[in-house]
Amino acid sequence: MIIVLGPGTTKDAIEYITKKIEDAGLKPLVSSGVERTVINVIGDERILDKNQFEAIPCVEKIIPILKPYKFASREFKQENTVIKVDGVEIGGNKIVIIAGPCSVEGKEQIIEIAKAVKEKGAGMLRGGAFKPRTSPYAFQGLEEEGLKHLKEAKKEIGLPIVSELMDTKDIELLLEYVDVIQIGARNMQNFSLLKEIGKINKPILLKRGMSATINEFLMAAEYILAGGNQQIILCERGIRTFIDHSRNTLDISGIAVLKELTHLPVISDPSHAGGKAKLVTPLALASIAVGCDGLLVEVHQDPERAFSDGEQSLNLDAFGKLMDEAGKVAEALGRTI
């Protein structure tokens, strides 16, 4: 941590601050420049409360040097984490495609889609049973019934299941029915939920909040890791910006930066990022080119009749085309799909 003091800071104030640092067992190193005095804090600064120092009137700014997360960092663990889900590995050389409808709408629907996406090469099946909807009047998901349909689809078709958890009270239910628990963008900083899923033994697919920085995203993962659950898949799904030609702005450089900063697998959700079917394949290819470990794609056998997110769902043909092109780009970069 570096503490920059404003012009005119008194000797007494400097002593007060250095004492505060020493009292915490760290070492302050004062250097007085031409216009500013700067104090370097030597030691593990994470034990200091940055905000307490910022509250001291003469402090101009505080610059943390160490990353605030530990278990999520490449410095803590250099090699890539590979997560195994019922025989499917994510985080390795093979890019994993997780496909399926936004919402589970019925048993036949989910089985039909599961069959189709498996044939085209998907590695896991996604489908929402509990749906976070902006409007209280919109379809809210089939809840436990939906989870049952997903389990049925797995039994028939064999793909591992990814589905979203929205509340701590439903954890047991999800544990019973699904293989990967998804935490949605709106719950990325639902810390009560993060703490609870830190205690379980089930892979987590954690979506980035729509206005989360990379630091905040990794700190959300750190909540889960600190709780003991090491199986986390990070998912970039677009951030909110001023643009209006796509639903969100896929933070394509964020994928590259995440791959550098953390050992956890990083996947991309081109469906929510684009928000329109015709943008999904271009964004999927870009995500693979930039280095993601998987894709989360909304697929529906009849998007015009989808209960939710129809406008951004690929139909089965379009999904097949995505898989073809994604395979070529992956291969060009020495990966498989």
Considering only residues 231 to 250 of the shown chain, the ones binding a second copy according to CB under 8 A are: 239-246, 249-250
Longest CA span, the chain: 76
Applying CB under 8 A, among 216, 230, 320, 335 the residue interacting with a second copy is 216
Instruction: Tell me the site size for a second copy, rule CB under 8 A.
Output: 109
Rg (CA), the chain: 23
> How many residues make up the chain in this entry?
337
Residue 324, interface with a second copy (CB under 8 A)? no
Applying CB under 8 A, among 15, 42, 158, 336 the residue interacting with a second copy is 42
Pairwise CA distance, residues 197 & 185, whole Å: 15
Residue 214, interface with a second copy (CB under 8 A)? yes
Burial class (CB in 10 A: 0-12, 13-18, 19+), 218: buried
Least Å from the CB of residue 177 to a second copy: 18
The piece of 61-69, 90-98, 111-119, 121-129 that touches a second copy (CB under 8 A) is 61-69
Q: Which of residues 108-127 bind a second copy (CB under 8 A)?
A: none
Applying CB under 8 A, among 297, 309, 323, 337 the residue interacting with a second copy is 309
Residue 80, interface with a second copy (CB under 8 A)? no
Give the amino acid at 239.
Answer: I
Residue 155, interface with a second copy (CB under 8 A)? no
Pairwise CA distance, residues 92 & 152, whole Å: 28
Rounded to whole angstroms, what are the CA distances from 154 to 10, 116, 147, 148, 179?
69, 13, 11, 10, 10
**Is the Cβ of residue 85 or residue 219 nearer to a second copy in the bound state?**
219
Applying CB under 8 A, among 98, 287, 296, 299 the residue interacting with a second copy is 287
**Is the Cβ of residue 52 or residue 84 nearer to a second copy in the bound state?**
52
Residue 46, interface with a second copy (CB under 8 A)? yes
Residue 230, interface with a second copy (CB under 8 A)? no
The piece of 118-126, 146-154, 155-163, 251-259 that touches a second copy (CB under 8 A) is 251-259
Applying CB under 8 A, among 190, 229, 262, 271 the residue interacting with a second copy is 190
**Encoded tokens for 53:** 């120092």
Residue 93, interface with a second copy (CB under 8 A)? no
Answer for the pair 160, 125: CB distance below 8 angstroms, yes or no.
yes
Residue 15, interface with a second copy (CB under 8 A)? no
Pairwise CA distance, residues 12 & 297, whole Å: 60
What is the 3-state secondary structure of 11-72?
A: HHHHHHHHHHHHHCCCEEEEEECCCCEEEEEECCHHHCCHHHHHCCCCEEEEECCCCCCCCC
Applying CB under 8 A, among 104, 161, 193, 323 the residue interacting with a second copy is 193
Applying CB under 8 A, among 136, 155, 172, 201 the residue interacting with a second copy is 136
**Is the Cβ of residue 175 or residue 289 nearer to a second copy in the bound state?**
289
Pairwise CA distance, residues 70 & 215, whole Å: 11
